[in-house]
Structure 1
């Protein structure tokens, strides 16, 4: 009994301490994001990165099986009228204890990165509201890059079917970026194909990061030209960029630094799609004018991606999207799923500071 009370006090104390600490972004950036987290994340990758399968995916499966068992056991007791007030009180305490464990471990292993200063702070970017003209200027540069890369990005694209080539390419891209900015140094790789890739097609995800195992998982069944940027994005999460717009920007900086034309094409493909979403809402005529300047390969790929998404669209995906959006809002991303698109603001700020050639 004494041990249980002690465990409760420790967990509650840690949870309160974490919440208070999270209110101070400068402290989180200095002591957690730049201090504690890099050490613990490298340790995770050293321990599990060498395994060819995702330990985190197996862990998730075991948790789901355990939850289903508990649900079955509880339902059975209810049907047999074997539940009492004491039973429900104990069950409530067990749930509360489990929630505390998840909250504390999640934040210590990764979640506090949601409260850091982040990539804009590191690069000295002034991220603010941008004009339509700013957006068009950036998109014009993206269109130029896509036209330059179109042919080269289709050469030997099938090589990415060997996932080692995909993951080696992403690691190499961060290696190139590291030469210009040490913040993006990435060591002890731990990137793996998701065991639930086909399921991801129905639930609408192309990759995810597991904070409990430190592994980055990539859905390797989506179109090949999507996978390079997705992989760079997930490595961005591993480096501590928790917010989706920041992981997108880390993915952008690394992928555009790659010596592989397909990696560069992949990131510009996504950036054009994100940017067009905002431009079309303001000025559909200008958006269509930019569309007309896109290379044939882009148009073919865009059509393939739309058909792929349409093929797997289902009612459950809508629910998952809503739930995930709520999760993002609960973690310092009020835009929900649109947080991914907000990388455009970072891109505009980057353009204004470093110029068109930097894009």
Structure 2
């Protein structure tokens, strides 16, 4: 009994400490994001990165099986009228203990990164509200980059069918970036194809990070030109950029630094989509004018992506989108799923500080 009480006290103490600590971004940045987290994340990647299969995906599967089994047993007991007040109190206590374990382990292993200063702080960017003119200027640079990369990105696109080429390419992109920006140094790679890639097509995800195993998973069944930026985005999460807009920006900086034209094409392809979302809401005429400037190959890729999304659209995807949006809001991202698009603000700030050639 005393062991259970001790475990409860330790978990409660850690949970309270984590909550209070998370209120101080400077301390989180200094002691966690730049101190404790890099050590624990590297250790995770050293231990599991060499395995060809995703341990985190297997872990999730086992958890789901366990939950289904517990639910089945509970329903049976209820049906047989074998439950009483003591049973439900014990069940509630077990649930509370599990929630505490998940909360503490999630935050210690990665989740506190939601409360760090992040990319803008590290790069000295002034991220603020931007005008339509600022957005259009950045988008014109993105269109120029996309058009220049259109033909080059198709020369050896099929090479990414070999997943190792995709993952090594993303690692190399971060190596290039880290030469000038050591904050983005990525060592001990642990990027793997998701065991649930086809499921991801129906649920609407292209990749995800598992904080319990330190592995980055990529949906390798989506169109090839989407995968490079997705991979760089997930590595951004591994480096401690928990918020989706910041992981997108880390993905942008790395993919843009790649020597592979398809990686550069992939990131500008996504950035155009994010930027166009905001421009179209303000000025649909200008958005369509920029669309018209895209080369035919790029338009073909956008059509392919739209058809791919349409093929797998289903009611469950909307439910998952809503739940994930609520998760993001609960983790310091009030924009929900629109947080991904907010990378545009970082891009505009980067443009203003370093100029058009930096885009």
1:358 corresponds to: 358
Distance (Å, rounded) in 2 between the aligned partners of 1:295 and 1:143 = 9
Distance (Å, rounded) in 1 between the aligned partners of 2:185 and 2:76 = 52
2:231 corresponds to: 231
2:277 corresponds to: 277
Distance (Å, rounded) in 1 between the aligned partners of 2:83 and 2:155 = 65
Distance (Å, rounded) in 2 between the aligned partners of 1:52 and 1:217 = 12
| 1:97 counterpart SS class | helix
> How far did 1:80 drift?
0.2
- Aligned pairs for 1:99-248 within 5 A: 99-248=99-248
1:79 corresponds to: 79
- Aligned pairs for 1:229-308 within 5 A: 229-308=229-308
Please tell me the root mean square deviation across aligned C-alpha atoms, in Å.
0.3
Distance (Å, rounded) in 1 between the aligned partners of 2:351 and 2:238 = 25
| 2:257 counterpart SS class | coil
> How far did 1:177 drift?
0.0
Distance (Å, rounded) in 1 between the aligned partners of 2:145 and 2:333 = 30
- Aligned pairs for 1:340-355 within 5 A: 340-355=340-355
| 2:53 counterpart SS class | coil
Distance (Å, rounded) in 2 between the aligned partners of 1:42 and 1:297 = 40
Distance (Å, rounded) in 2 between the aligned partners of 1:156 and 1:103 = 44
> How far did 1:149 drift?
0.3
> How far did 1:220 drift?
0.1
| 2:217 counterpart SS class | strand
> How far did 1:296 drift?
1.1
Distance (Å, rounded) in 2 between the aligned partners of 1:150 and 1:307 = 20
Distance (Å, rounded) in 1 between the aligned partners of 2:117 and 2:11 = 26
Distance (Å, rounded) in 1 between the aligned partners of 2:28 and 2:296 = 46
Distance (Å, rounded) in 2 between the aligned partners of 1:283 and 1:332 = 30
| 1:213 counterpart SS class | coil
Distance (Å, rounded) in 1 between the aligned partners of 2:40 and 2:295 = 44
Gaps of 5+ in 1: none
In the TM superposition, what whole-angstrom CA distance separates every residue of 1:49-105 from its partner, at most 9, and x where no partner exists? Answer: 000000000000000000000000000000000000000000000000000000000
1:22 corresponds to: 22
Distance (Å, rounded) in 1 between the aligned partners of 2:340 and 2:261 = 23
| 1:82 counterpart SS class | coil
Distance (Å, rounded) in 1 between the aligned partners of 2:266 and 2:7 = 48
Distance (Å, rounded) in 2 between the aligned partners of 1:250 and 1:295 = 27
| 1:256 counterpart SS class | helix
1:323 corresponds to: 323
In the TM superposition, what whole-angstrom CA distance separates every residue of 1:106-134 from its partner, at most 9, and x where no partner exists? Answer: 00000000000000000000000000000
Distance (Å, rounded) in 1 between the aligned partners of 2:192 and 2:166 = 10
> How far did 1:205 drift?
0.1
1:2 corresponds to: 2
In the TM superposition, what whole-angstrom CA distance separates every residue of 1:151-193 from its partner, at most 9, and x where no partner exists? Answer: 0001110100000000000000000000010000000000000
> How far did 1:295 drift?
1.1
Regions of 4+ moved over 2 Å: none
Distance (Å, rounded) in 1 between the aligned partners of 2:155 and 2:338 = 33
How many residues of Structure 1 are paired with residues of Structure 2 in the alignment? 359
In the TM superposition, what whole-angstrom CA distance separates every residue of 1:9-29 from its partner, at most 9, and x where no partner exists? Answer: 000000000000000000000
| 1:208 counterpart SS class | strand
Distance (Å, rounded) in 1 between the aligned partners of 2:248 and 2:180 = 18
| 1:216 counterpart SS class | strand
Gaps of 5+ in 2: none
